[in-house]
Amino acid sequence: MSRMGWERIEDQEELDKEDIGLRGRLIFLRLFILAVLGLLLYRVWWIQTIRGQDLQAQAEE
């Protein structure tokens, strides 16, 4: 028995091609999630620094 097991080499090559496509999609998904989290973090920072004084004054009223 070879190190590949019972699978044909052609099948393994096809799986490798599919893995490359899947890997690319996962990298894109990670980058997309990081971008969304970055935008949310920026929005929180903006609200706290730019509108923080106004919101604090409204809360005290």
Would you kindly state where each structural domain of the chain is located, as residue ranges? 9-60
- In this predicted structure, what is the pLDDT of residue 13? 67
Task: State the pTM of this model.
Answer: 0.58
Close Cβ partners of 55 (under 8 Å, ≥ 6 residues apart): 47
Closest CA to 29 of 37, 18, 41: 37
User: Which position has the token pair 């490798």?
Assistant: 16
- In this predicted structure, what is the pLDDT of residue 9? 64
Q: What is the pLDDT of residues 10-49, one digit of tens each?
A: 666 666 666 777 888 899 999 999 999 999 999 999 999 9
Q: State the Cα–Cα distance between residues 4 and 13, nearest whole angstrom.
A: 11
